[in-house]
Structure formats: structure tokens, C-alpha cells
Amino acid sequence: MKKHNFFAGPAVLPEAVKKQAGEAALSLDEMGGLSILEISHRSTFFSDVMEEAQSLVKELLGLGDDFDVMFLTGGASSQFYMVPLNILGSNESAAFVDTGTWSTKAIKEAHRYGNISIIADSKDKNFSYIPKDYDIPTDLRYLHLTSNNTIYGTQLKSLPETNVPIVCDMSSDIFSRKIDPSRYDIIYAGAQKNLGPAGTTIVITRKGILGKTDRDIPTMLDYQTHINKGSMFNTPPVYPVYVCYLTLKWLKELGGVENMAEKNHEKGHLLYDEIDRNPCFEGTVNKEDRSLMNACFLLKDSSKDDIFLKMCDDAGIMGIKGHRSVGGFRASIYNALSKESVQVLVDVMKAFEAKNG
């Protein structure tokens, strides 16, 4: 039976990428039959992979030469402290919009390095919406946003109007839609949602934003260290970076971010239309703020949750159970998940209605 991977992360990867990555784990012709797992990161082969992966990130996101791209370790959570460590002076201020678990964690870490304020949040309704129409101070070093909230199923549809530099955690929707690079000074994203396996994190910085703090930054935590060395100051996570490289190539061959955005809209609307139509289910998020990456929904009769989960399991659907913070169900419909898999989920929802509605 074909499996349909709705896990929130580590998440589904393209079949072609998994096949090529699997073959490389056994043998690379370019390296005389050595495994990608055992080659030197100083080899010409991997140096070319790293360089091309960085170039593809720029190409797919529309970034110019005024940006640097790094592949780092530590997950996106490490960026919660690396961002303020690198750009926030001890007497400077940064503001956050708190839209869920990950922004809350980022706020906690940033408090160590400067003056931090929360200028908007959606805690009052369990992060089921994106705050709007809030005031943004003009004297900020940066404003931190989270573009997509994996746990709660909300997504930022547009950026607030401000001249303040914007830092954005795009861990769960990077490469899923077009962005305006001119609006950002730092973008970071863990790979394990839309790009590759766990183990590496993309960090994108605008040139000129670094080197202005009043602190001595440890070498390994200094962005400039990794920019200067092309993300190879120390041994990088070779295999995760290689899989990211393959996924970036796959995305380009499919027509890039614009084409992927169309596919994501089709998948998202297919599922949300069923949630809204089916009398057994209801969404948990304001419709205007619904994520196209993580769709959260409930059974109106929660006593039948296990019945629905069993039907999903019988259909090969995996990872559909919701996060404990929300309950119910969460379907993560990242770039590599096919529309066919979403249709299987929709068919199960219809079958559940026929038997239990």
C-alpha cells in the first residue's frame, strides 16, 4: 500500500530526490564509488555542491548579490539566539509578533541580548489567527516575524508596512511561494519541512547588516565566520546539504517557486473545501489566516477521533494526528506532497461522513 506522509517534520521528500540520495549513500560515480556519507567535505565534488546549493537558493528566492546564503547546523532553534547575538546591540531594541510556539521560544532567547518587546500576539485565541493593524516602533533594530506556524496552522499572508528591518523565520513555508526579498534583512529556515532532512538550516543575511554590535561574538556563532568560509569553516552536514541541493534542483526543474505556489494553492483549497463542506469537521484557524502548509482541523464529535484515525491508517495516511496544543488533526501539505495524497485524505473524510455523519 502506498503511504501518504502528512508528518509536520521531518517531512515528505520528492521521490526522485530520495532515489538519487539513496543511490549516493551507496556509491557516487563522481567520487570513484565512495558513499556521499564518507567523502571529504573539502573534495571538489562537495565544494561544487555547496556552491551550487547556495546559488540555487538565491535563484529560486530571487535574491540578488546583496545577500549571503549559509548552510548551518543547530536547527532553526539555534537562530533564536544567533540572530540577536549577531545584530542586536545591548542597548538596542527589537520587537516580535508572537504567533505560536516557535516565536515564543525566539522571544525567550532574544531577551538575553537587548531590549525586547512583543507588539502583537494571538494568545487570546490559542494562536488561531495572525494579528493585524498593530503599531510598529520606528527605532527598532529589527522586527521578528514567523511566516508560517506549523503547530497552529496559521500563515502570514502579507508583511506589515514598515521601514524597520525584518527578520523572518520561514522554516515551514520557505520555497512554497514567492517572496519580495527587498522586505527582509535576515531569513532563516530549518531544512526538514520543505527542503531536506533534519541536520542543516538555511540562513540568509543582507550584506551590511553584520558587524555593528558592541559584543565579542564566539567564532562559531558569528555569521561572518561562515560567510567568509562559504559555510565550510568546520565540517558541514554533508549529506543533509547534498539532499537540499537535490531538492533545490528538483524545484527548479518543476518551474520554481511560482509553479510550486500554484500547486500548493490547489492542494490547500482541495483540503480546506472539504473541511468546510463536511458537517463532521471544522477548521481551527480564521479562514483568512489558514496555512497552505499545515491544515489543522477537528471532528465536531471528538469521541470519534480514534475511528477517523483508524480509517486514515487503513488508507496509508501517516502523521495526521494533531499537535497536543491544538488537538484533532493536522495535515502537513508541504511542497513534495502530491495532490493525489491530499485527495486520499479528502476521500477518507467523505467516507467518514457517510458512515458517521
Q: Which residues are catalytic?
A: 102, 169, 193
- Measured between alpha carbons, how far is residue 2 from residues 41, 63, 317, 336 in Å? 36, 38, 9, 15
CA–CA distance, 351 with 357 (Å, rounded to integer): 9
Cα three-residue angle 247-248-252, rounded to 5 degrees: 115
SS3 call for 61: helix
CB-based burial label for 288 (10 Å; 0-12, 13-18, 19+): exposed
- The amino acid at 62: G
| Residue of 251, 274, 329, 344 whose CA lies nearest to 3 | 344
- Please state whether the peptide bond connecting residue 10 to the residue before it is cis, i.e. omega within 30 degrees of 0: yes
The answer to whether the CB of 204 falls within 8 A of the CB of 55 is: no
CB atoms within 10 A of CB 100: 24
348 CB burial (10 A radius; 0-12, 13-18, 19+): buried
